A and B are shown apart, each in its own frame.
Chain A
Amino acid sequence: MTTETKENSHDMVDECVEGACSAVDYVLNACESIGETIVHLFHAVGTLAIFIFRSVTHVFLPPFFPRLILRQIIDIGYYSLPVVGMTALFTGMVLALQSHTGFSRFNAEGAVAGVVALSVTRELAPVLAGLMVAGRVGASMAAEIGTMRVTEQIDALRTLSVNPYKYLIAPRVIAGTLMLPILVLIGDIIGVFGGYIVSIYNLGFSPGNYLTQTWDILERIDVISGLVKAAVFGFIVAIMGCYNGFNSGRGAQGVGAATTYAVVSSSILILIFNYILTQVFFS
């Protein structure tokens, strides 16, 4: 071999070694980031589990703060009523229109009342109310508690011998879990009423027939399952709002991110738990 050929072959070996090294590095980096993500995931789940445990414990242990619970009940229940009511009304109306369009193709228009009643009570009222309250209340909880974290108000609570779980979290969790079923019950009535209006004044149904069909098809479990779902969704909205606010990062950006996480995480959890509860009730 000439000197030049030897040098060429050395270069090729070096390139191969470098190539192998960079491939190994690439795999190692990928493994590292996957590992890091998994560790973060477990850490987040663990932190959330501890937070939920503490919050629920303080819901049942005295002292209680009735004034704060009442304030949250008004904020979550009363002030969410217009949003939930409007959502339910237009959902019921659209449902009647769409189901009529579909069923008329099979000459089954008579099923409209039943479809509206079952869809609203079982699924649409609890899920849509949950999502609307997550947007309205969950975001506000995260922003308020996050701001309190950033401005050291939560530390101030502790130095004044007041447990922040008892003072800030428990009233919100109690109010969220109690008020969403009531909102959904009202949403059920308004949603069915929305379907009734469209069916009577737009689609030409007989009022008596529509109401009879609605009443006949509805079973107790349809309404109860919706209310149980609502209670779970209310708990999810309150817990995720409080959790993200309580663990908010520093500054305006931290509070903004906490608010976004609160809404996104509670919305996703509502959809997941809706499937799980439907499976439990009706499978």
Chain B
Amino acid sequence: MTVSSSDDKLQLFGVKKAFGSNGVLQGVDLHVPKGKSLVVIGGSGTGKSVMLKCVLGLLSPDEGSIMVDGRETVGLDAKERDKLMRKFGMLFQGAALFDSMKVWENVAFGLIQGRGIDRREAQDIAIEKLIAVGLKEEVGELFPGELSGGMQKRVGLARAIAANPEIIFFDEPTTGLDPIMADVINELIVKTVKELGATTLSITHDMASARKIADYVAMIYQGRIVWHGPVGDLDNSGNEYVDQFIHGRAEGPITDDEKSGRYAA
């Protein structure tokens, strides 16, 4: 297991979150070094998305601490939270594009509405980002409904990196894509993140994606991190939960009941 240090960009200590009697996160400890990519793997319903939403401030944890650049982020007021959000970029599982807006407006949205950048200048940045993720300039004039799933993910990625964020979050970046398109997206993630020098936190259950984009991997199980280490150690983790998960075995300590998503989160 890796140990938290002062070089960490993002740290979670004992984060707990319950919905009624359903304890989804039961004390998550995690840290991401500056400029590195951490991928959290785990089955459906193990609390990955809830953990990500807690870090993003979309959910408030019941207990624990979430630090960004060594500063506590739990319980920030609206103004401070707004300032913090400017450091973040996020690629949602379904891309979450605004379907009433053109593609370029989607990419430029955070720049225009969130940061007050001039519309024309924001459009230029949006086009530049669209090209950076392998889309043509003309795509900017289309609406999200006119794009394929892979193209929507690219647009989502362009939106996530539009404001050159310090930390980028990826929620199941390859879900719903064919293996080739999934690999293209993984390549794009690695390339764009390297260019930005950003720190990333991703959640996925796609092992090919995890191996491609991760510097470090953590496994979440029953709302706790059960293993955390460099991606190179994944195959020799010595952790029976990790072994079962990465090899996709039905037999092992992760029971069928737990795999079926006891925590509907």
Contact = CB atoms under 8 A, between A and B. Distances in A.
B96 interface: yes
Interface in A120-176: 148, 151-153, 155-156, 158-163, 167
B207 to A, nearest CB: 24
Contacts of B57: 158
B221 interface: no
A167 B98 CA distance: 13
B98 A159 contact: no
Contact of A159 (B78, B85, B97): B85
B82 A155 contact: no
A159 B113 contact: no
Nearest to B78: A163
Given A160-B114, A161-B86, A161-B115, A155 B109 contact: no
B16 to A, nearest CB: 21
B257 to A, nearest CB: 22
Contacts of A152: 92-94, 96
Contact of B82 (A65, A153, A161, A167): A161
Nearest to B116: A63
A153 B101 CA distance: 12
Contacts of B99: 153
B90 interface: yes
A161 B85 contact: yes
Contacts of B86: 161
Contacts of B53: 155
A280 B95 CA distance: 50
Nearest to A147: B99
A148 B96 CA distance: 8
A241 B89 CA distance: 30
B58 A155 contact: yes
A179 to B, nearest CB: 20
B234 interface: no
B110 interface: yes
B92 A156 contact: yes
Contacts of B226: none
Interface in A72-86: none
Contacts of A155: 53, 56, 58, 92, 96
B187 to A, nearest CB: 24
Interface string A35-76: 000000000000000000000000000000100000000000
Contacts of A158: 56-58, 85
Interface in B46-96: 53, 56-58, 78, 82, 85-86, 88-90, 92-94, 96
Contact of A156 (B78, B98, B115): B98
B173 to A, nearest CB: 14
A159 B115 contact: no
Given A155-B58, A156-B90, A161 B96 contact: no
A92 B21 CA distance: 57
Contacts of B97: 153, 156
Interface of A: 65, 148, 151-153, 155-156, 158-163, 167
29 contacts: A65-B113, A148-B98, A151-B96, A152-B93, A152-B94, A152-B96, A153-B98, A153-B99, A155-B53, A155-B56, A155-B92, A155-B96, A156-B90, A156-B96, A156-B97, A156-B98, A158-B57, A158-B85, A159-B56, A159-B88, A159-B89, A159-B90, A160-B110, A160-B114, A161-B85, A161-B86, A161-B115, A162-B110, A162-B113
Given A152-B92, A152-B93, A152-B96, 9 more contacts: A151-B94, A155-B53, A155-B96, A159-B85, A161-B82, A161-B86, A161-B115, A162-B109, A162-B113
